[in-house]
Structure 1
Amino acid sequence: MEIYDISYLSLVACFLLLVIPVFVSQYLKLGIIQDTVVSVSRMVVQLAFVGVFLTVLFDLNNSIVNLLWLLVMLIMATHTTISDVGLDLKKLLVPTIFSFIIGNFLVLLYFNMFVVNLENLFDARFLIPIFGMFLGNSLRGNIISISSFYDAIKRNENRYLYSLSLGAKKHEAILPYARKSLDLALKPSIANMSTIGIVALPGMMTGQIIAGSSPILAIKYQMAIMVGIYVSTVMTVAIGIFMTIRSSFDEYGILKQDVFKSTNA
């Protein structure tokens, strides 16, 4: 099957489509032109860098270098998670990194060993893209779960303290808030799986088909990836909440106020 390349001139033609949202923004006074330009520019620079960098990684295909790059991805994801939810980076850095490692890396190794059946589990062509998909989805889940969990505890502090005063142990008082946060974080992944294929064709499957893979092969990979993403997200958000609890609450079950950035200002 012939593979159709996209020339640089064709990319320019693609970017010309951005005239439409610019016109809509200008006509309706939405004020998104600057944000659009900045976002598109960052996307181009970042993807260009990643394209060159991944080409070098794939050609080198050194297991140690590949794992070091995964570590960089983990650190960046952890920093983004904690920063976006307004919590103290120093207190939650280690437990959040640990949750990403357990929830993503272990699922990735299982995936490469038993699903893709790779001889080299650290093959860059599979290791980095698949890990990126797992990490990106669990990152979103972690932001939702951790943010909603600590916001709920802080917003309902009196009710939470009242539960402790009635004799509830720390994990008993925390469990309703953790359960609600996990539910909020996992609903998008569940909804995404239930509508995939009929409502939407995901990017990975579409890319494989366009690149010449058979639809059946693309579907098998997509099903496997979706299961892996869901499992890694469940593990990451669950471990993320319960690991951060150890450094965020004192021995009496009281939430430490210095966990929040605003209290350190």
Structure 2
Amino acid sequence: MNAIVDINLKELALGAFLLLIPIGFLYTYRIKMVKDVLINVARMVVQLSLVALYLEFIFDLNSALINSLWVLVMILVGVLTAINRIGLKIKFFIFPFFIAGLTSVLIIDTFCLGLILKLDYIFDARYFIPITGMVLGNALNHNIVGLKTYFKSHTEKQDLYRFLLSNSGNQKTAVRPFIEEAVKMALNPMIANMSVIGLVTLPGMMTGQILGGSPPAVAIKYQVMIMIAIFVGCTINIFVSIVFTNKIIFDAYGNMKEATIKTTRFLQKKIQR
């Protein structure tokens, strides 16, 4: 394999000129997103630059404690982001969502790093942080979609929930259609993506490894592993989050706690009408 081709800052800045194409479209059609694009691209560059400096440090140090703390921070940031995007109150959901994220990380990392890769040092930053980050990042995106759907369904279909609860006498049976809808919304995009990998898309991890000099066969095996890990991690995260959510928003008789339901912005708007 040839040596990795580096990108210097001048060439990277030149590549940024590609942004003129979407900005031109947005400006031409007077779509008010130009400012958001520029601010978030700048934010991305700053954040990634800081992360690069930090990762250089923790990769050299390679401490189990520091690497674990970094992962806990990643989980916390993801949880806070999800809570904010869904429109929930932190005090009700930060702990259960954090436990859901931690559970998925523990299971996935144990299998991938310990049983599949058989690392002598499971906290090796080179593997531990990137793989955990990919699982958490994807779980964040899909959880937001799934949990938004779950809360929205309960908001708009309270009569259906009460009907199912009164006829079945079982709260688990009553919430089953809502869980099904939420899980489908969360996982269907990932399932569709898996069906076209290699035919329509070349995923990021595989592409990155090939660009980094790994043989395509090795890169593909890693990609298969990480796609399974991401799917399983997202599934664990969404189901555990919903289980904890049900313990928060329902009382012992299966009735919704009105004060808890009102934590969602979309429900507040519905009640105000």
Q: Does 1:10 align with 2:7?
A: no
Runs of 4+ residues over 3 Å off in structure 1: none
Could you say what secondary structure the match of 1:96 adopts? helix
Deviation, 1:4, is 0.6
Deviation, 1:261, is 4.2
Question: CA deviation digits over 1:173-208, x for unaligned, max 9?
Answer: 111111111111110111111111110001111111
Deviation, 1:104, is 2.3
Structure 2: which amino acid aligns with 1:77?
Answer: G
CA contact (8 A) 1:249 1:255 kept: yes
CA contact (8 A) 1:137 1:233 kept: yes
2: CA distance, partners of 1:40 / 1:81 = 21
Question: How do 1:156-171 residues align onto structure 2 when only pairs under 5 Å count?
Answer: 156-171=157-172
Q: Which residue is 1:80 aligned to?
A: 81
Question: How do 1:30-45 residues align onto structure 2 when only pairs under 5 Å count?
Answer: 30-45=31-46
1: CA distance, partners of 2:237 / 2:170 = 24
1: CA distance, partners of 2:150 / 2:98 = 18
Question: CA deviation digits over 1:226-249, x for unaligned, max 9?
Answer: 011111111111111012211111
CA contact (8 A) 1:104 1:131 kept: yes
2: CA distance, partners of 1:152 / 1:31 = 31
Q: Which residue is 1:140 aligned to?
A: 141
Question: How do 1:240-251 residues align onto structure 2 when only pairs under 5 Å count?
Answer: 240-251=241-252
Question: CA deviation digits over 1:123-148, x for unaligned, max 9?
Answer: 11111110000001111121112111
Q: Which residue is 1:102 aligned to?
A: 103
Structure 2: which amino acid aligns with 1:103?
Answer: S
2: CA distance, partners of 1:50 / 1:98 = 25
1: CA distance, partners of 2:167 / 2:20 = 61
Q: Which residue is 1:152 aligned to?
A: 153
CA contact (8 A) 1:88 1:258 kept: no
1: CA distance, partners of 2:231 / 2:130 = 16
Q: Which residue is 2:232 aligned to?
A: 231
Runs of 5+ in structure 2 lacking a partner?
none
CA contact (8 A) 1:96 1:240 kept: yes
Aligned-residue Cα RMSD (Å) equals 1.6
CA contact (8 A) 1:104 1:236 kept: no
1: CA distance, partners of 2:28 / 2:96 = 48
Taking structure 1 as the reference length, the TM-score comes to 0.96
Percent of residue pairs identical: 36
Q: Which residue is 2:114 aligned to?
A: 113
Taking structure 2 as the reference length, the TM-score comes to 0.93
Structure 2: which amino acid aligns with 1:74?
Answer: I
Q: Which residue is 2:130 aligned to?
A: 129
